[in-house]
A and B are shown apart, each in its own frame.
Chain A
Amino acid sequence: MTPEQINKQNENPERKRGIDFIDLIEKDGYEITNYQKVTEIAELVASGSKETLRKYYSLKDLENKMGNMEELTTDFRFGVRDILTEINAVVKNDIKLLGVDNHFDKMINGVKSKLGIYQAETRVKEAEASRAKTRAAIAALDSNTTMTEKAKNAEFRRLFNIYTGPNVKAIENAKKIESKQDDNFNINLDNDFLDKISYDLKNMYDYLMVSSLSSNAKKILIDKFNKIVAMRNEYKGRLNKYVSNLSLYKKTLSSLGLSVAADKNIKKSGKPEVSINEDMKPSEKVAETKEVVDLDKEPIIAEEAGSKEEIQNINSAPDLEIDKKPDYQFANDEEKLNSESLDSKINTINQEEPIKDSPNLTPEIKPKRGKKVIAFKKAIGKLAKPARLTAVLFITGSFLLPALGSPFGLVAGALIAVALEKTIAKKKNMENNKDRKTIKESLFNLKDEIVKKAGLSIILPEEKNELDDFIVEIDSHLKEELAKDKEAELLVASDDKLDEEVRLAQEIMKEDGLTPDVAANKAVEMQEEKPADFKPFRR
Chain B
Amino acid sequence: MEIDTIVTLEGNEKYYLADVTIQNDVKYFLANKLDEKEELTKESCIFEEVKDGDEIYLDEVLDQTKLKYITTVFTSSLISDLEDEINEEA
Contacts and interface: CB of A to CB of B under 8 A. Distances in A.
A383 B3 CA distance: 11
A515 to B, nearest CB: 40
B18 A363 contact: no
**Residue of A99, A379, A419, A420 ringed by the most chain B CB atoms within 10 A:** A379
A375 B6 CA distance: 8
Interface string A366-399: 1011111111111100011011111110111011
Contacts of A391: 18-19, 30-32, 44-45, 74
**Residue of B44, B57, B59, B69 ringed by the most chain A CB atoms within 10 A:** B44
Contacts of B89: 427-429
A21 B30 CA distance: 86
B67 A388 contact: no
Contact of A390 (B24, B42, B83): B42
Interface stretch (A162-170, A211-219, A458-466): A211-219
B53 to A, nearest CB: 11
Contacts of A98: 60, 62
A355 B8 CA distance: 34
A356 B63 CA distance: 12
A357 to B, nearest CB: 8
Interface in A205-238: 212-217
**Residue of A356, A369, A392, A396 ringed by the most chain B CB atoms within 10 A:** A392
A213 B63 CA distance: 7
Contacts of B86: 423, 426-427
A331 interface: no
Contacts of B46: 395
A428 B87 CA distance: 12
Interface string A62-81: 00000000000000000000
A395 B45 contact: yes
B64 A96 contact: yes
A355 B66 CA distance: 11
A146 interface: no
B15 to A, nearest CB: 9
Interface in A90-130: 96, 98-99
A169 B59 CA distance: 51
Given A370-B58, A391-B31, A405 B82 contact: no
Contacts of A423: 79, 82-83, 86
Contact of A371 (B10, B62, B71): B10
B4 A383 contact: yes
Interface of A: 96, 98-99, 212-217, 355-356, 358-359, 361-363, 366, 368-379, 383-384, 386-392, 394-396, 398-399, 402, 405, 409, 412-413, 416, 419-420, 423-424, 426-429
18 contacts: A214-B62, A215-B64, A359-B69, A361-B66, A368-B59, A370-B50, A374-B10, A378-B5, A379-B5, A383-B32, A384-B19, A388-B18, A388-B19, A390-B42, A395-B46, A409-B68, A412-B68, A427-B86
Interface of B: 1, 3-11, 13, 16, 18-19, 23-26, 30-32, 40, 42-48, 50, 52, 55-60, 62-69, 71-72, 74-75, 78-79, 82-83, 85-86, 89
The 10 closest A-B pairs by CB, nearest first: A370-B59, A391-B44, A214-B64, A387-B18, A394-B44, A371-B9, A375-B8, A369-B57, A212-B62, A96-B62
